Amino acid sequence: MSYPNQSLLAICLLAVPSLALTETLGSPPLVVSATRTAQAADETLAPVIIITRDDIERSQAGDVANLLRLHAGLDIGRNGGPGQPVSLFIRGTESNHTLVMIDGVKINPGTIGGAALHNITPEMIERIEIVKGPRSALYGSEAIGGVINIITRPGEAARQWQVTAGGGSFGTRQAGAAMNLHNESLRAGVALHHLSTDGFSPITAAKIDRGHDNTTMKAYLGRQWGGVDVEASHWQASGRTEYLTFDYVTLGYNPADEDFTNSVSAVKVSASPATRWTSTLHLSNARDDLDQNQVPDFSHTSRNTLDWQNDLQLTDRQLVTAGITLTREDTEALVYGSGFDQTTDVNAAYLQDDITLDRHHVLAAVRHTDHENFGGHDSWDLEYGYALDDATRLTAAVGTGFRAPDSTDRFGYGGNTLLRPERSRNIEVGMKRALGEQQNAYLNVFHNTITDLIDYFDPDGWLGSLPGQNENIAKARIRGVEVGHHWRSGPYTGRVEVIAQQPRNETTGEPLPRRAEHSLTAALAYQGVRCGAGIDVVAQDERKDTAYSTAINAGYGIVNLNASYALGKAWRLSGKVENLFDKSYALADGYNTAERSFFVELRYSGSL
C-alpha cells in the first residue's frame, strides 16, 4: 500500500528527533468527545485537536469555519463571505459526514446534513474539541469523518463580567457582554453578542454587496444538592443573511435574504449513586430553522433527545461507559417546489470499555441503532495503544461509521425512499512522541473506505424525459498521512501541521471535490505580560470544484496577523489583518473570498 507524498513524510520523521527546547507545554486540556468521558488530550488513542479560548481570542476569527480552517485536514468550501453557506470536509470525507455538537448536543439539521458553522460566533465559545475518524459507535449517524464538539461560554471564573466592542473592514461592527456568578453550590451566567457586517459580493460575476446580522446568546443556571448536580442552559444564534439569486429571464443577479435560527436547549442531571458509578441524564432540544423572504421556501428541524449515560469505574484501570439515546426528529421543508413533513424516531444503546494495563491501552466500543426508517444498524470501534517508553506511544485503530439518509435525500428534489445508509470502515496507525517536556510530535496514517455513497443519478440529462433521483451508486476511498509538531519556549508557542491525502470517488475515478490533496497550516504566537502577537499560515494545493464540472480551484496560501496589548489590568486592545498579502483565491468556483481586511476589538474584564 502506498501513500501520497512519501518524501514529505520521510523528511518530517527524520526531523522529529532533532527538536529541543526548554520550557514546558503545560497541562494538556481535557477532551470529552473522544470517549464521552474526561481524558487528557495526550492520553486519547484517537487523533484530536483542541482549540482553546486563548487560540480563539488570538485568531479573532469571524466564525467557527474560519477557526477550523487553521488546521490541516479540515478543508472548507465557502459560497462567499460572512453568513454564506459553508461546507467542512474532515480528512476528505463528505461535508455531511461530520457530526457537530453544541455542548454535546447534535446540531446537524435533518433536512440537509451539514451543520450551520457559518452562524456560530467564536465569541461565545470556550473551546472546540475535534476528533478525527469514525465515532458512530458512540454518537451514531454522521460521525464518519469525525466529531466536532463546541463548548460554549461563560467559563468557570467565580464572579466575572466582560464587555467587548469592535469593528473593521466590510462595515463590520460587533459588541457583546457576559456575566457569570459562581459559589459553592450555585452557578449562573448570561452572555450576549451581536455582529453586523455589510459584507461583499458573494458572486464573482456580480458587484452587489450582501450583508449578515447575527445575534447570539447563552444563558445557564446550575446547582448542586448534595451529590446531585442540575444545570439548565440555552444557546441561540439568530439573524438575517443577504445573498444573490440568478434570474434566468434577465440573466442577472437579484438581491435576496433569509432569516435563520439555530438553538440548543438542555437540562443535564448528574449524580453518583455509588462510589464508582456516575450517572448523567441529558435532555435536549436542537432547532435549525431557515426561512426565505422573497420565495416561500423554508427548512425546519426540531430534534428532541434523551441521553442517559452511566460511567462505571470498575477498577483504577478500567472504565466502562454504557447508555441509551432516544431521539425524535421533526423535519419540514419546501425547496424548489419539493416539500415534505416527516417525523423520525431513532433509538440506540452504546457500550464502551476503556482498559489500561501497564504499557497497554485498549478501548472497545459498540452501538446498536434502531432507526425507524432503516431498521437496526450496528457500529463499532477498536483502538489499541502501546507505550514504547515514557515519551513514545504507538496506536492502531479500526472503526466503522454510518450516515442515515436525511429527509431531503429521501423526499426532496430527486428523493428516493429506497436509499440505504452510507457506511464506512477506517483503519489507521499512529505515533505520538513527547520531545522533552516542551514539545511533541505526531504521525497518523489512515485508510477510509466509504460504500453506498448517495449521489444524484440523471440517466437522460437534466433536459431529458427520464427523471433523475438519488441513488446509492458511489464508493469512496480516502487514504493519507498527517504529521504535526507543537512546541513552547518561554512566551513563544508554535505548531506546524501537514496532511497528504487522496480522496477519490472509486466509482468514477475522479478526486472528491473541494478537498485538497496537500495542505499545510502553521502558527507562531508570542504572549508577554502586556502584549501578544501571532501569525497564522494556511496553504493548500488545487482542488476540483464539483463532481459536475471541470472547474479547478487553484492552490493558494494566505497569511493572517494578530496582535493584542493590555492597556491596564482590565482593558485589552486587539487587532488582526486577514489575508495580509491580498491574495485572490477561491474556496468555491464563482464565489468571492475576502480580500485583505482589518479588524480591531476593545475588551474590558472585571470582577463582581
Low-confidence ranges of the chain (pLDDT < 50): 1-24, 463
Domains of the chain (ranges; CATH) run 6-607 (2.40.170.20)
Distances (CA, A) of 377 to 86, 114, 368, 406, 422: 30, 22, 6, 16, 11
Distances (CA, A) of 291 to 96, 199, 231, 335: 21, 20, 31, 10
pTM for the whole thing?
0.93
pLDDT at 399: 96
The Cα angle at residue 294 between residues 292 and 298, in degrees rounded to 5: 25
* pLDDT tens by residue, 356-380: 999 999 999 999 999 999 999 999 9
Q: Rounded to whole angstroms, how far apart are CA atoms 372 and 528?
A: 56
- Bridge partners (DSSP) of residue 504 are 477, 511
Q: What DSSP designation does 554 have?
A: P
pLDDT at 184: 83
Q: Rounded to whole angstroms, how far apart are CA atoms 50 and 34?
A: 11
Q: Rounded to whole angstroms, how far apart are CA atoms 435 and 415?
A: 53
pLDDT at 2: 42
What phi and psi values does residue 170 have, to the nearest 5 degrees?
65, 25
What phi and psi values does residue 597 have, to the nearest 5 degrees?
-145, 160
Q: Rounded to whole angstroms, how far apart are CA atoms 237 and 128?
A: 17
